[in-house]
Amino acid sequence: MVSKALTIAGTDPTGGAGIQADLKTFQELGVFGMSVITSVVSQNTLGVRSFVDMHEEFIESQIDAVFEDIRPDAVKTGMLSNPSAIAIVAKKLKEYNVSQYVLDPVMVASSGHELISQEARQSVKEELLPLATLVTPNLPEAEALTGLTIETIEDMKEAGRILVEEYGVKAALIKGGHYKGEADDYLYNGTEFLKFSAKRFDTKHTHGSGCTYAAAITARLAEGDSLNQAVEHGKSFITSAISNPLEIGKGQGPTNHWGHRLTTK
């Protein structure tokens, strides 16, 4: 039977981030993709113009429509801009006993625009972290969630430890995209730290890299990979998407969702 993955997130009309990036990634990895829209965002590679949040009842109705028909094998959440959207998603993840859940704690777009209210940051911690199989913060998100200032690899690991041991997420992947060195990410799964490494590629075309990475991990979890295997596959997928740039867009361009086809040939 085909594996199915659901993304619950905001949109990007230019196709590099959000729901659009997630669906392309699911498709590339041979997983049937489904989507629930939380916010419609007017954005492009230059930045975010504005966004309109869906009402919580309408987010709930979309989630019910999916689960009452085609049960996903894994779920990913991305942009959830306000506490009521977070509360309804948390309620539904519990109601449907979702056991494979990747939480991408989207806070600020690569262009620097805030995609989440200040109050909602607390809701992410209290309501979503305890439900998630994996949380995938970049460095500013890891700092916002833990209150740490992250300057070293030891700080990255400490953030992972706090997220798992104090906030109750099963595993945390602290991404090094914003780090000064190579593009190394650290996974803490409650027992050990694992490093997922890539050479830093000299490019500005990383719009949506976080969405794409988390979506690839979600697709592999839907396919039955262990968490470590799923992150390893995800890292290889995002590295190919960054290292085969399309060079489109006037700002920070999108990653190349079919880059893995060029790399593995």
Q: Which is nearer to ligand ATP, 90 or 217 (CB)?
A: 217
Residue number of the CB atom closest to ligand HMH? 18
CB 210 within 8 A of CB 227: no
- What character string, x for contact with ligand HMH (CB under 6 A) and - otherwise, covers 13-32? ----xx--------------
Residue 184 Cα distances to 109, 173, 178, 200, 208, angstroms: 20, 10, 10, 9, 17
Q: Is 12 in the site for ligand HMH (CB under 6 A)?
A: yes
Residue 226 CB, shortest distance to ligand HMH, in Å, is 26
Joined tokens for residue 204 = 């500005």
Pick one of 5, 6, 8, 10: the residue that binds ligand HMH (CB under 6 A): 10
- Cβ(100)–Cβ(133) under 8 Å? yes
| Residue of the chain from 23, 74, 109, 221 that contacts ligand HMH (CB under 6 A) | 109
Kindly state whether residue 214 participates in binding ligand HMH, applying the rule CB under 6 A.
no
79 touches ligand HMH by CB under 6 A: yes
- Encoded amino acid at 142, one letter: A
Q: Which of ligand HMH, ligand ATP, none sits in contact with 45, Cβ below 5 to 8 A by type?
A: none
Q: Tell me the C-alpha to C-alpha distance, in Å, between residue 142 and each of 74, 120, 161, 189, 205.
A: 23, 15, 11, 16, 22
Closest CB to ligand ATP among residues 167, 213: 213
Structure tokens at 216: 């690839």
Tell whether residue 145 is a contact of ligand ATP (CB under 6 A).
Answer: no
210 is an interface residue for ligand HMH by CB under 6 A: yes
What is the residue whose two structure tokens read 């989630």?
63
The residue among 7, 4, 25, 8 whose CA lies nearest residue 16 is 25
Site for ligand ATP in 30-89 (CB under 6 A): none
Nearest distance from C-beta of residue 16 to ligand ATP, angstroms: 9
Please give the size of the binding site for ligand HMH, defined by CB under 6 A. 16
> What is the Cα–Cα distance from 237 to 80, expressed in whole angstroms?
25
- Annotate each residue in 174-203 with x if it binds ligand ATP (CB under 6 A) or - if it does not, as one string: -xxxx----x-x------------x-xx-x
Contact, 72 vs 222, CB < 8 A?
Answer: yes
Q: Is 78 in the site for ligand HMH (CB under 6 A)?
A: yes
| 8 Å CB contact between 79 and 38 | yes
97 burial via Cβ count (<10 Å: 0-12, 13-18, 19+): exposed
74 forms bridges with which residues in the sheet?
A: 5
Which of ligand ATP, ligand HMH, none does residue 175 bind (CB under 5 to 8 Å by kind)?
ligand ATP
CA 236 to chain centre: 15
- Binding residues for ligand ATP (CB under 6 A): 17, 110, 138, 175-178, 183, 185, 198, 200-201, 203, 206-211, 213, 235, 238-239, 242
- Binding residues for ligand HMH (CB under 6 A): 9-12, 17-18, 41, 43, 78-79, 106, 109-110, 208, 210-211
